[in-house]
Amino acid sequence: MPAAGPYMYLVYFLLMSISAPIYSSEVNGSNRQPRSQNTIQVPVALKHLASTTILSTLHSTDRKLWLATLDGVTQVGRKDDRKFTHFTNRVGDQVRFRARHLLEVWDGEIFSLTTDNKAVSLERGRAKFVTADWLEAIGGQNDGVVEAYFSPKGLLWLAYENGKILALSSRSRRADIVPASGLGIPSDIVGTENGGVLVSFSSNIVLSISMQGKIDNEFKPDSCSDLKNISELAKLGNNKVIIGSRGGGIFFSTLKQKTARPQEFLT
């Protein structure tokens, strides 16, 4: 990686951390969808949005822009039509879900977590988001989901309030359940180069989990007493990770050495 590379990651990480609103005292979600190489420029007028509070964005493979808001989801069409479609699932004046984290999963399905930690999804061609009840049929739940990540390998990773980590290879097939009880509430989940994930917990522990669901490494930064309340992870490659904390600043870590240094890129 060129010398300027880590600085660019840090700037991106800082911007994401600053812009991400806190919707819970325990868990802060953000969009983990891999960034598309294509870009779209659509002037979005505030009057067209379901809500002016946007918690997550997604550029889907069909080149549509999705905005997760406190009043459902707004879909912005491609540049040639710029059509706005709202998915609010209203019953009278009651909003049934407040979206906070959007992912595109299998076959163009849009998967969303809500501010009350439930999972909803919109299959391609359907008119509204519905509760992801299909999770229960393969050993998961659609309640208590705090983090989600869809990998380039086609695995949907879900992290639950009780510490359970679930990997799904399709709507009807579970890849594995990773036992992670006693570590607290998951605070973030990001992908690794080998198809696995890194998961941070409220206990200040980061697990490295392989694509097969095996815990490869457990990182607990005992050598850095200032690193507490891990809230965000950003993977740099070569086992290097930027770790964000609530109230403790930003740290640079090499997980294999199980050490963390504060503000590595700022000194």
| Banded model confidence at residue 47, pLDDT cuts 50, 70, 90 | low
> What are 123's two structure tokens?
């299959």
Higher model confidence: residue 74 or residue 4? Answer: 74
The proportion of the chain whose per-residue pLDDT surpasses 70, expressed as a percent, equals 67
Nearest CA-CA partner of 200 in 208, 192, 33, 239: 208
- What does the pLDDT look like over 212-266, one tens digit per residue? 888 888 887 665 666 777 888 887 766 678 787 777 677 777 766 555 565 544 4
d(CA 92, CA 99): 18
Q: Quick check: 139 and 124 in contact, CB under 8 A?
A: no
| Banded model confidence at residue 95, pLDDT cuts 50, 70, 90 | low
Q: Quick check: 164 and 178 in contact, CB under 8 A?
A: yes
> What are 238's two structure tokens?
């070569």
**Confidence at residue 120, expressed as pLDDT on a 0 to 100 scale:** 92
H helix runs in 105-209, sequence order: none
**Confidence at residue 122, expressed as pLDDT on a 0 to 100 scale:** 92
Residues in the chain: 267
Higher model confidence: residue 103 or residue 44? Answer: 103
Token look-up 């889907």 returns 60
Q: Quick check: 72 and 89 in contact, CB under 8 A?
A: yes
**Confidence at residue 257, expressed as pLDDT on a 0 to 100 scale:** 59
d(CA 149, CA 155): 8
**Confidence at residue 3, expressed as pLDDT on a 0 to 100 scale:** 40
Q: Which residues contact 42 (CB under 8 A, 6 or more apart)?
A: 65, 76, 79, 82
d(CA 17, CA 242): 12
Q: Which residues pair with 48 in a beta bridge?
A: none
Res. 29: pLDDT tops 80: no
Q: Which residues pair with 168 in a beta bridge?
A: 156, 174
- The rounded mean pLDDT for the chain is 75
Higher model confidence: residue 12 or residue 216? Answer: 216
**What is the 3-state composition of the chain as percent helix, strand, coil, each rounded to the nearest 5?**
10, 40, 45
- What does the pLDDT look like over 127-182, one tens digit per residue? 888 889 888 888 888 889 999 999 999 999 999 998 888 888 888 777 677 777 78
Q: Quick check: 96 and 137 in contact, CB under 8 A?
A: no
Higher model confidence: residue 111 or residue 204? Answer: 111
The proportion of the chain whose per-residue pLDDT surpasses 90, expressed as a percent, equals 19
Which DSSP helix (H) or strand (E) runs through 21? none
Amino acid sitting at position 227: L
